[in-house]
Every structure is written in C-alpha cells, then in structure tokens.
Amino acid sequence: SQTIHQWPATLVQPVGSPLSLECTVEGTSNPNLYWYRQAAGRGLQLLFYSVGIGQISSEVPQNLSASRPQDRQFILSSKKLLLSDSGFYLCAWRSLGAKNIQYFGAGTRLSVL
C-alpha cells in the first residue's frame, strides 16, 4: 500500500535561517506531488506542485522554492526564512487517473521566531 512520509513534525527556526522540509512517497510511481501551507483555522494554500522529476509549478510567488530530485521525493526549501513563513506545511500526493483524490502527510508545524 502507499504511504507518505513528511518530516520533521515540528520545527522552530530563527528569522533568516534556511529551511528544508522533505516528503517521500512509497508504494506508487510517478505521483503528482503537492506542497500546501495552512494558516491557523484556515484552508489550504497550494504552494507548489510537480507532475514529474525536475518539474515544478509555483502557485504563489514567495520566499520558498521546491525541488523534486527523485520520482517520489519532494523538498520545500528557503534560503532565508521570514516571520510570515510560519505555518502548517502539508505534503500530498495524487495518483494518475480519473480520480483526483489526494493523500496527505502528517504535516510540519513551522514557527519562525
């Protein structure tokens, strides 16, 4: 069966420090991969999605970047974190086919201080 791993679960970083969040998927090939950010008590904001290795689509211009170095690995990065980067980050995958059901990781709570 398919599983998605996202880590770390919580992260506290100082302003100006770099960021790297990693997400890996097991049990499926060539998934569509997604990074979302969720503010407290709000909906999901799509940040990036990828339909293949090295293919990244950015939804919102901001202080973050994403990379997909391997088929089932999706990385969210920043060179210098801002206070506004704080939030709950979720990785998700979706299989190819008619249904567009997304499967989510457990999330990373990022606090930038």
Q: Which one, 12 or 15, has the nearer CB to other proteins?
A: 12
> Which of 85, 105, 110, 112 is in the footprint of other proteins by CB under 8 A?
105
The closest alpha carbon to 109, from 77, 78, 85, 82, belongs to 85
The reply to whether 109 sits near other proteins by the rule CB under 8 A is yes
By CB under 8 A, residue 112 contacts other proteins: no
Our finding on whether 90 is near other proteins (CB under 8 A) is: yes
Nearest to 109 by CA among 18, 28, 30, 39: 39
**Which residue's CB is nearer to other proteins, number 33 or number 64?**
33
Is 44 a binding residue for other proteins by CB under 8 A? The answer is yes
SS3 state at 21: strand
Instruction: Name which of residues 47 to 86 contact other proteins (CB under 8 A).
Output: 49, 51, 57
User: Least CB distance from residue 66 to other proteins, whole Å?
Assistant: 14
Residue 88 in the binding site for other proteins (CB under 8 A): yes
Q: What is the DSSP string of 52-98?
A: ETTEEEESS-SS-EEEEEETTEEEEEESS--GGG-EEEEEEEE-SSS
